[in-house]
Amino acid sequence: MEKINKGDCFELDTRFTQAQVNAFADCSLDNNPIHVNEEYAAKTPFGRPIVHGFLAASVFSRVFGTKWPGEGTIYMSQQMSFRAPVFVEHDYVARFEVLEVDTQKHRGIIKCSLVDKANDKEVITGEAKLMHTERF
């Protein structure tokens, strides 16, 4: 299995639908109207429904667990800063860069961000610690 090294990068385009947001509200029980009620959201400074931070940032988890490093990843920790609202039906790209690798402990520290494709602005930034016995 190919090793992941310091400096390696990965990215994935992503987009969230109102249906995904509604489904997340149902399964997480986080039914804050800012996410699911268009009328309510219109009266907030955001002007329209925003994606739950945890649903938006779950693209990091999805990439780690299913794509890069992929199956076998142990998710140790995740820091995330919510810098700007994430809107439904808008194009984003999740970007990743390996900051450090410990090949003895099979651990990697990954810089993660969710970026608005329209203006290249970071809307979520963060850092993850992962373990993968074969890839690190």
Burial class of residue 112, CB neighbours in 10 A (0-12, 13-18, 19+): buried
Closer to a second copy by Cβ: residue 4 or 94: 94
Token pair for residue 59? Answer: 């693209």
**Would you mind telling me the total number of residues written for the chain in this entry?**
136
> Does residue 66 bind a second copy (CB under 8 A)?
yes
Angle at 97 between CA 50 and CA 23, to 5 degrees: 25
Token pair for residue 55? Answer: 């649903």
> Does residue 20 bind a second copy (CB under 8 A)?
yes
- Quick one: which segment of 24-32, 95-103, 104-112, 113-121 binds a second copy (CB under 8 A)? 24-32
Distance, in Å, from the CA atom of 51 to the CA atom of 131, rounded to the nearest integer, reads 29
- Quick one: which segment of 2-10, 15-23, 94-102, 110-118 binds a second copy (CB under 8 A)? 15-23
Angle at 62 between CA 57 and CA 64, to 5 degrees: 105
Mark 26-65 with x for binding to a second copy (rule: CB under 8 A) and - for no binding.
xxxxxxx-x-----------------xxxx-xxx-xx--x
User: Applying CB under 8 A, which residues contact a second copy?
Assistant: 19-21, 23-24, 26-32, 34, 52-55, 57-59, 61-62, 65-66, 71, 75-82
